[in-house]
């Protein structure tokens, strides 16, 4: 089962290494990791997506709470939250199917951000299922390259 964990940490050198070390040292895998400063320059928010049963994730949360630089840890599996991801995808675009690709992007509220003679680069944001469906549809045209930011999340409350 996938779990999204938010860790508010002090914005200091080496914190990311300690968090990643906590996961690797205990044999836990990180599906995605996103780190950025918050509105308070002294703090950063880490959004970590990992897999495991409830007992495993509870253990991860306990270990994260023990880290010196950890300010607040939230397991979003225990509450209501908003999550988004940004993806840039470069797709092969022949003259005869370029309009169809653009139309599909519009349906998914994606934006064409670069046009080249042989391809289009499209930006899409949203939840995981929306993005997966969009990428699946684009595979029929030929996905040339793709990059994802990883999930970011905030509680609704």
What are the backbone dihedrals phi and psi of residue 22, each rounded to the nearest 5 degrees, phi first? -60, -45
CA distance 113 to 90: 10
What burial letters (b/e) apply to 9-22, b meaning 16+ CB within 10 Å? Answer: bebeeebeeebeeb
State the pLDDT confidence band at 157, using cuts at 50, 70 and 90. Answer: confident
R_g over Cα of the chain: 19
Fold equal for 2-79 and 82-155:
yes
Q: CA 122, CA 113: separation in Å to the nearest integer?
A: 6
Q: Return d(Cα 157, Cα 155) in angstroms, integer.
A: 6
**82-155 belongs to which homologous superfamily?**
ACT-like. Chain A, domain 2 (3.30.70.1150)
What average pLDDT does the segment 58-87 reach? 90
pLDDT at 78: 67
Q: What is the mean pLDDT of residues 125-140?
A: 95
Please give the CATH topology (third level) of the domain spanning 2-79: Alpha-Beta Plaits (3.30.70)
Q: How far apart are CA 63 and CA 147, in angstroms?
A: 30
Report which of 24, 4, 13, 152 is spatially closest to residue 73, judged by C-alpha positions: 4
Token code pair at residue 19: 């968090």
- pLDDT of 2-34, one tens digit each? 899 999 999 999 999 999 998 888 888 899 999
pLDDT at 79 over 80: no
Render pLDDT for 142-155 as a digit per residue (tens, 0 to 9): 999 999 999 999 88
- At residue 155, the pLDDT reads 86
Q: For residue 27, what pLDDT is reported?
A: 86
Distances (CA, A) of 62 to 15, 43, 102: 17, 20, 46
Q: What pLDDT does 2 receive?
A: 87
Residue 80 has pLDDT above 90, yes or no: no
pLDDT at residue 70 in the model = 94
Helices (H), the chain: 15-25, 54-66, 98-107, 128-139
Report the SS3 class of residue 71: strand
Mean pLDDT of all residues in 40-54: 92
What residue spans define the domains of the chain? 2-79, 82-155
């Amino acid at each position: 089962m996938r779990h999204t964990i938010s860790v508010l940490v002090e914005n200091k050198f080496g914190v990311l290494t300690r968090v990643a070390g906590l996961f690797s040292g205990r044999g836990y895998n990180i599906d995605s990791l996103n780190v950025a400063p918050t509105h308070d320059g002294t703090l950063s928010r880490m959004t970590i997506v990992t897999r495991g049963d409830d007992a495993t994730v509870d253990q991860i949360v306990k270990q994260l709470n023990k880290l010196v630089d950890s300010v607040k840890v939230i397991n979003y599996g225990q509450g209501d939250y908003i999550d988004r991801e940004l993806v840039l995808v470069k797709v092969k675009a022949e003259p005869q199917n370029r309009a169809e690709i653009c139309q599909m992007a519009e349906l998914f509220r994606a934006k064409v951000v670069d046009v080249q003679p042989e391809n289009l680069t499209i930006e899409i944001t949203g939840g995981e299922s929306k993005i997966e469906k969009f990428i699946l549809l684009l595979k029929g045209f030929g996905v040339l390259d793709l990059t994802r930011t990883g999930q970011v999340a905030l509680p609704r409350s």
